[in-house]
Structure 1
Amino acid sequence: MKKLWQISILFIVSVLVLAACSSAQSDEGSGESSGAEGEAVKGGEIAIPIAADPTFNTWHPNAYAESNVVNRIIFTGLTKPGKDLSPSPALAEEWSASEDGNVWTFKLRQGVKWHDGEDFTADDVAFTFNDLVLDESLGSNGASNYKSLEEVVVVDDYTVEFHLERPWAALPAYLAFNSEIMPEHKLSGGDPWDNVEFNKKNPVGTGPYKMDTYTSGQSVSLVKNEEFYEGEPNLDKVTYKIVPDSNTQIAQAISKELDIFVMEDKSAIERIESSNDLEVVAADITRYFWIALNQEDERFTDAKVRQAFTHAIDRQAIVDSVLQGYGKVAHGPITPDQQAFYTDEVQQYPYDVELAKQLLSEAGWEDSDGDGVVDKDGEPFKIVFDIAIQGDLERIAQLVQQYLIEVGIDVELNVLEWNAMIQKNIIERDYEMMLNWWSYPTDPDVYAQYGSENAGTGNNIPGYQDAKLDELLQQGQATSDPEERAEVYREAQEYMAETLPYIYLWYPQELQLRNANLQGVPDTYFGATLHYIYEWYLDE
């Protein structure tokens, strides 16, 4: 089924018309209550699925996608994505940059309490960045986003300065993205990753929900923080159920056991279209899927090999069949929702089996013995392809496997549980080929995923190193003028499309499955809506 790719537009697939809802926070007290049409209703609880056990610390090396969904409502950052996706106040009320762009000053919100009653102050901000993020020995998740940060200086209890090695225009945007502040009084004085009580049992945050109960392999239950600085949340309780199988997630949504989540299996739309109790909302998102070829492996350092792989995979066919048309073939990391920066006027890689074989031949890989597998210097081109169990990733990997076999690559699939994939592929960098995705703030700064200094331990998963690309992306970071910045990133996109640090697959549209009675959810991608979960309510 052909779908129209829409930029910055949301639409609803449902037999119901979405009722008008108010995003205003009610000032009424806690307890069950019903309001007039358009008023938020107090009380009730919802359930959200995640695929694996979370780690309750944004910066922990194991805290990736599943953890982020939970941590986003336990903790808060200095900024958050606004409903227009521009950086908006959270723990910081205002901020400004120095004339040379090397110092950013943030004025912090006063009167904020941690869940245990302690005061939030500038010391917590300094601790988070100086002691967790900038300590390279800790290998903090997300630290590669902050390579230009020298230190955070406490000016007074409610003012901090971010001192940079070089100007960084996207700092407020990155502070809104998986950069929550951690409590110094809970994590200082030892290895923060060894603090099992905090990281795996009883986290203490400043967010709208706080820990109630956690049963590994089953669920995480959070109750509302009545002292939340934005006002008391409407929903009494939010439970994250650990449900790794996407079919089970859909079944539990139909049976009213789950209330909102991102549909990873797009083919499930047909199963829910007949339900009067569910809605599917499609949103553009700053995300791209990719294949990483480990650059420590000499076979993958030749750009012709990476180009051959890209030509060998029928990406449009996967978008049409697996994604049901909810996506667009990718040409680089800058996503189409960033209209001021995105360009598709770059080198293209249409599906072409013969061209893929020709490029492999030019790189020295030919089937010399007629066994169907290309070889070089007597060594057949055999790859172990790691894939995590989540949504339709395994199905996609099977298709990629078949496409590569067709051009003479012997591909063995290695299917991993999500957290095992994080440990093996991301932390240990033990892989040959892997498939995953990047999400990032709605800003074209992708240095963390490509900078040479982030190879090996940071977000540069392939370990790709290129001085020219480093220079372009750092220039983009330092440029604040929108037109000049757009020109820099256009050049960077052209260069990345030629060199292929990653094999770019597609830009997905996100499909959110929602309980039709769940109201107050902003019209944006799921990760951003969670920053406003205190406004959500059930209208039943």
Structure 2
Amino acid sequence: MTHEIDDIDARIATDRPTTPNRRTVLNTLAGTSALALAGCLSSADDGTDFRIGGPWKPNRDPLDGGSLLRRLSITEALVGVDYDADPEPGLATDWERIDDRQWQFDLREDVTFHDGEPVDAAAAVDSLRRTADSAAFADVPIARLEADDASTVIVETETPFAPLLAHLSRNEAVILSPETLETDGAIETPVSTGPFVFEGLETGAELRASRNDDYYGQSPSIESVRYEVVEDDQTRRVKLENGELEMARILPIEMVEPLESEPGLEVYTPEIPRIRFLTFDIQSPPFDDERVRRAVSQAVDREAITESILGGIDDPAVGPFSPEITAWANPDLEDHRYDPDQARELLSEAGWALESGDVRTRDGEELTIEIVTFDARSLPLIAEVLQDQLATVGVDVDLTTTEYSSMVDRVGQESFDAYLTSWGTLWYPDPDRLSDMFHSSGATLHHGYANDRVDELLEEARELDDREERRVRYHEVQSIVVREVPISVLTSYTNVVAASAEVSNYRPHPTESRYGLEQVEIDAE
């Protein structure tokens, strides 16, 4: 399964109350008449571009880093994702699970690709076959794709597979036109069906799109979009403040307060389905002992981390899913709250004694561990706090910060103690994501954890159609892994997006599979 470290998963449910320590500004001026962008932005080069700055580099191919095509509403899939992070109709208006392994999708009528060709079942099947054959879908057991008639697609899986809808909502599963797919190899011009049309891409620099005036759904107010690659956080902020951008995305938390003081800007801080957590190597000492893993977890003052480093914007977290975000979260998890005295007792029970000095020993060996992390998402700062907090219970911590890919390579090829990382937990909208985290043979976390009951529950839930029966099993999985601590979840995660105060109707999406630009308006001065 592919690791995605960009923010695939932004989440806010605007119909739920925000927590007191979360500053979330939403401009949802429903009912306001649509305004054309031209002439409204005096700072724009030609008065037509809605300019977005972000750190991620766009690509032309949805199977090769082309997620921004979906986010900018250029491409669309059979299945969308709603604001509760659940599958919703996309190019398919309806679907039915015919039996354990067959699904029927009914296509939306009178939809055309950007090149004017009709979207029919044959075109959808051709596009999906390319997806199903890709490395990105290697773990999705699609056995057969067939056009039953002009408006009906049949998908058959090798085994019963309830998460199919969620996977068909992914960026890689968007529907491309037959003409786009005629070229063997690289995609030159991605032609799909969305409210914006691909206009051009300068590799590593920008992606441009224009309004699709023939779109079957809500027609955008803005005429064109330019996504600019601005890797440096401070540069994105300055460009926004100078009027060179209408929106800046993925800003660091420490910028929230100063940005909020700017009268011409609005700041959005939705909690998203992402967590920061420690992963332990439970096949090697000292973390092959559950008591030591529990001790480390209880020695961490999560509240201090969120207040001192994360500005009180992120929250302490317990399990993989937040009850504030999704009903798939178990709201009754055993909370390993900060309890350094209990941590000391557990370490002593495990044979690690504090006899002299500041570091515990066992059989003449000091309890020294290494925590590896990567330089993003405030992780190095959090690692320093962990180092100080664990020292108070007699654990000596060495810190290593590297690039994300180097960290993954290292922990995947050799034994380690622990690594501090961040994952999106609903980047495809299904709790089967827990299989990626905890299944003994399917997990892509490198903890070495194996629990027969967890495997059984995950395999059963993957096959079931009934949502409540699935939820019961996923809740039990969360209870078990919180108790046995193959990972120690530390904090929730908040996306920081800032925009010109002239921007209205922007609503952060739960998984950030789209930016919702077709809804965005620019208020005239």
Please give the range of the TM-score, normalised by the shorter of the 2 chains: 0.7 to 0.9
Amino acid at match of 1:212: E
- Partner residue in 2 for 1:235: 222
- Partner residue in 2 for 1:285: 272
Secondary structure at the residue paired with 1:328?
Answer: coil
2-side partners of 1:187 and 1:301: how far apart?
50
Amino acid at match of 1:473: L
Per-residue CA deviation, residues 182-215 of structure 1 (Å, 9 max, x unaligned), is 546545786xxxx4x43xx644433333443433
Secondary structure at the residue paired with 1:270?
Answer: helix
- Partner residue in 2 for 1:470: 455
- Partner residue in 2 for 1:408: 395
- Residues 1:298 and 1:522: Cα distance change in structure 2 (over 3 Å): same
What is the TM-score of this pair, normalised by structure 1? 0.77
Q: Are residue 152 (structure 1) and residue 145 (structure 2) matched?
A: yes
Q: Is the CA contact (8 Å cut-off) linking 1:75 and 1:180 kept in structure 2?
A: no
Q: Are residue 425 (structure 1) and residue 408 (structure 2) matched?
A: yes
Per-residue CA deviation, residues 41-89 of structure 1 (Å, 9 max, x unaligned), is xx832222322323443433xx3xxx53444333211111234544322
- Partner residue in 2 for 1:392: 378
Q: What is the identity percentage for the equivalent residue pairs of Structure 1 and Structure 2? A: 24
Q: Is the CA contact (8 Å cut-off) linking 2:222 and 2:520 kept in structure 1?
A: yes
What is the TM-score of this pair, normalised by structure 2? 0.79
- Partner residue in 1 for 2:9: none
- Partner residue in 2 for 1:68: 67
Q: Is the CA contact (8 Å cut-off) linking 1:286 and 1:442 kept in structure 2?
A: no
Secondary structure at the residue paired with 1:385?
Answer: strand
1-side partners of 2:347 and 2:181: how far apart?
51
1-side partners of 2:125 and 2:411: how far apart?
29
1-side partners of 2:509 and 2:170: how far apart?
15
- Residues 1:411 and 1:13: Cα distance change in structure 2 (over 3 Å): closer
Q: Is the CA contact (8 Å cut-off) linking 1:262 and 1:526 kept in structure 2?
A: no
Q: Is the CA contact (8 Å cut-off) linking 2:161 and 2:462 kept in structure 1?
A: yes
- Partner residue in 1 for 2:135: 139
- Partner residue in 2 for 1:109: 108
Worse-superposed segment, 492-501 or 363-372? 363-372
Secondary structure at the residue paired with 2:481?
Answer: helix
Amino acid at match of 2:297: T
- Partner residue in 1 for 2:91: 91
Secondary structure at the residue paired with 1:383?
Answer: strand
Q: Is the CA contact (8 Å cut-off) linking 1:293 and 1:434 kept in structure 2?
A: no
Amino acid at match of 1:494: S
Q: Is the CA contact (8 Å cut-off) linking 2:435 and 2:458 kept in structure 1?
A: no
- Residues 1:252 and 1:270: Cα distance change in structure 2 (over 3 Å): same
- Residues 1:301 and 1:412: Cα distance change in structure 2 (over 3 Å): same
Count of aligned positions: 497
Secondary structure at the residue paired with 2:381?
Answer: helix
- What is the aligned counterpart of 1:59 among 45, 48, 63? 63
- Partner residue in 1 for 2:17: 9
Secondary structure at the residue paired with 1:398?
Answer: helix
> Deviation of residue 106 (structure 1)?
0.4
Q: Are residue 246 (structure 1) and residue 254 (structure 2) matched?
A: no
Amino acid at match of 1:103: Q
- Partner residue in 1 for 2:479: 494
- What is the aligned counterpart of 1:534 among 515, 518, 524? 518
- Partner residue in 2 for 1:435: 421
Amino acid at match of 1:307: R
Uncovered stretches (5+) of structure 2, i.e. residues with no partner: 1-12, 41-46
> Deviation of residue 288 (structure 1)?
2.6
Q: Is the CA contact (8 Å cut-off) linking 2:180 and 2:189 kept in structure 1?
A: no
> Deviation of residue 404 (structure 1)?
4.3
- Partner residue in 1 for 2:4: none
Per-residue CA deviation, residues 367-426 of structure 1 (Å, 9 max, x unaligned), is 89968476778587442513143x53333333334444554243232232xxxx257627
Amino acid at match of 2:457: L
Q: Is the CA contact (8 Å cut-off) linking 2:131 and 2:173 kept in structure 1?
A: no
- Residues 1:103 and 1:299: Cα distance change in structure 2 (over 3 Å): farther
| More helix by percentage | 1
User: Alignment RMSD, CA only?
Assistant: 4.0
Q: Is the CA contact (8 Å cut-off) linking 2:162 and 2:465 kept in structure 1?
A: yes
> Deviation of residue 160 (structure 1)?
1.6
Q: Are residue 270 (structure 1) and residue 246 (structure 2) matched?
A: no
- Residues 1:253 and 1:397: Cα distance change in structure 2 (over 3 Å): farther
- Residues 1:113 and 1:411: Cα distance change in structure 2 (over 3 Å): farther
Secondary structure at the residue paired with 1:290?
Answer: strand
- Partner residue in 1 for 2:82: 82
> Deviation of residue 518 (structure 1)?
1.4
> Deviation of residue 242 (structure 1)?
2.1
Secondary structure at the residue paired with 1:105?
Answer: strand
> Deviation of residue 93 (structure 1)?
1.7
